[in-house]
Chains A and B, each alone.
Chain A
Amino acid sequence: MFESKQVIVLGERDGIAGPAIAACVASAGGTVVYTSTECFV
């Protein structure tokens, strides 16, 4: 899924936070180039 891809992680405070997603992406072999945890209002 992530072969030769750069991964952008857009977590949300009320859902799944960015660092948690980034850890999953790393586990899946992806390279994270940006991580944020937003607050949707």
Chain B
Amino acid sequence: MDLNSQEVIKRLSDEHGADNLVVILGAPDDESAEIAAETVVLGDPTYAGALAEAQLGLSVYHVLEEEFRSHVDDDVWEEQIGVMADVLDAEGISAAVKGMRDQKP
């Protein structure tokens, strides 16, 4: 994950509290989604950024997960996400992010 994003997430977690934050991902595949989710749940696996060894345990979802999608207006969804929902492997991505969410400390 981008180092600047890690710094911002650490700061927001300090300011608002981890329980008051939700992260929504737009990763294109299960591998990158899992790494991004791991970074905000268990810490940066590459130990390169501000979230290294920071087990924030943030609530994290991918934009294609039904838990999120079900809250979005259908017209907005079609306009903003549209065909990408069919192109990407929503099932595999969702499983990867849920698997990491379940490891929340």
From the candidates A1, A8, A27, A37, name the one contacting B9 in the complex (CB within 8 A).
Answer: A8
Contact yes or no, B22 A36, CB < 8 A: no
CB contact list, B4-57 vs A, under 8 A: 4-5, 8-9, 12, 16, 20-29, 32, 35-36, 40
Interface of A is mostly: mixed
Question: B38: shortest Cβ distance to chain A, in Å?
Answer: 13
Contact yes or no, B68 A15, CB < 8 A: no
| Interface residue total, chain B, C-beta cutoff 8 A | 38
A8 and B105 alpha carbons, distance in the complex (Å): 20
CB contact list, B49-105 vs A, under 8 A: 58-59, 63-64, 67-68, 71-73, 76-77, 79-81, 84, 88
Other than the given A9-B26, A12-B27, A29-B71, 7 more pairs (CB < 8 A) read A8-B8, A8-B9, A10-B36, A12-B26, A15-B27, A24-B80, A27-B77
Closest 4 CB pairs of A and B: A16-B26, A15-B28, A28-B71, A11-B26
